[in-house]
Structure 1
Amino acid sequence: MPETRAVTMESLIAAWGLPALTFGTLFEGDAVAFVGGLMAHRGLITPVGAWGAVTLGGVAVDNALFHLGRRSGQSAWMARMLAKPLALRLLGAVAAHPVKIILGFRFVWGTRTVTPPVLAAAGISPLLFAALDAVSVAVWAALYVALGYGLGLTVERLWGGLSWGEHWALSLAAGSMLAAGLFVLWRRRSR
């Protein structure tokens, strides 16, 4: 008689963890990278695996947006995007600081979707963008995966051995509060 195994959260994550992280990063990078760190802390995936999966997803989405901007030419979508105040400021800055913008945009909330197409419209080389973006995303992924891993350690030290759900909920709540605090500081500073 074949052996039946119970399907648990841990077994699902262990089976689909890395592809799910890569896919999730295409839509919501910070939270997914953070959860990847939590998963690594719980031993469901390796920290290097989480970093690699998040990096792959981040590079893929950035390059897709960049090439979409190159292929769109002067489409209505691109014209609307380039007319936004943020895009106009970026277009002005790209000529003076293209390397800094490519390396830094992933770390600035609210600029991840608009910057790659703007860089493409500004005539940045696809090879330059791909190389510098890979470096930037690798550092960004390491930072967020490490934050999730570190917060998981902190939660475990404060509250001891928790179930996966309790651990995840506490870590996510703490991470959300940290992100909200950073967002408030960023908003005050940008005014």
Structure 2
Amino acid sequence: MAIETLIARFGLAAVFFGAGIEGETMVVTGGLLAHDGLLPLAGVAIAAAAGSFVADQLFFAIGRRFREHPRVKRIEARPAFARALALFERHPTAFVFGFRFLYGLRTVSPMAIGTSAIRTRKFAALNAAAAMLWAVLFTGIGYVFADGIERLFGKIKSVEHVVIGVLAVAVIVALAIHFFRRRSLLAA
């Protein structure tokens, strides 16, 4: 199936679901496709913000509703959960804005916040603002660096090119994370 057909059918919906499930790679790819005129730039940012917001609200609601459930208790016992909750308790507003950018805490953080005493309305307002900021940033990265990415991989003309591009971005991100983790371990 040609990329144009795929985008015509699932474009912004794919960004919405991808932002909620996968995250940055899908949103950066959406920005790249907006640069090529295959998706509207504002639409990509809005779909990404909405997808991120809805997913985080869902995880927050699970944490809030099922905080005493054995499965949530098992998740609560994990080090990432405890780390997320400790960071949240020290800096609640900054943490709601920042957890999207913290590797390993992206999905567990809203659930951890849901087990805390924060009011649902306050979390929703902070989450909406943070989702918009995150979406604009990563959509913009894809849009601004599209020429460089396309020079590296060629013009996107098929689904295979999108898959290769997404995998390449994921590999680059994974290598960067590995590099920074290793560097911080050596410095400690």
Shorter-normalised TM range: 0.7 to 0.9
Mapping for residues 59-70 of structure 1, pairs under 5 Å: 59-70=53-64
Q: How many residues align?
A: 184
Which sections of structure 2, spanning at least 5 residues, go unmatched?
A: none
TM-score, normalised relative to structure 2: 0.86
- Work out the CA distance in 2 between the residues paired with 1:45 and 1:88: 39
Aligned partner of 2:134 in structure 1 is 140
Which range moves more in the overlay, 37-46 or 174-183? 174-183
Cα distance, 1:176–1:73 mapped onto 2, change above 3 Å: closer
SS at match of 1:26: helix
2:153/2:165 contact within 8 Å kept = no
1:67/1:117 contact within 8 Å kept = yes
- Work out the CA distance in 2 between the residues paired with 1:159 and 1:120: 42
**Over aligned residues, Cα RMSD in angstroms?**
2.3
Deviation string, structure 1 residues 36-73 (Cα, Å, up to 9, x no partner): 11210111111111111111100000000000101102
Cα distance, 1:90–1:14 mapped onto 2, change above 3 Å: same
Aligned partner of 1:180 in structure 2 is 174
Which range moves more in the overlay, 136-145 or 162-171? 162-171
Identity value in percent: 34
Aligned partner of 1:78 in structure 2 is 72
Mapping for residues 37-186 of structure 1, pairs under 5 Å: 37-156=31-150, 158=151, 162-165=155-158, 168=162, 171-172=165-166, 174-186=168-180
Which protein shows a greater Rg? 1
Return the offset for 1:169: 6.0
TM-score, normalised relative to structure 1: 0.84
Which range moves more in the overlay, 170-179 or 81-90? 170-179
Cα distance, 1:140–1:189 mapped onto 2, change above 3 Å: farther
- Work out the CA distance in 2 between the residues paired with 1:28 and 1:51: 15
Aligned partner of 1:27 in structure 2 is 21
- Write the letter of the residue equivalent to 1:44: L
The higher-RCO structure (CA 8 Å, 6+ apart) is: 2
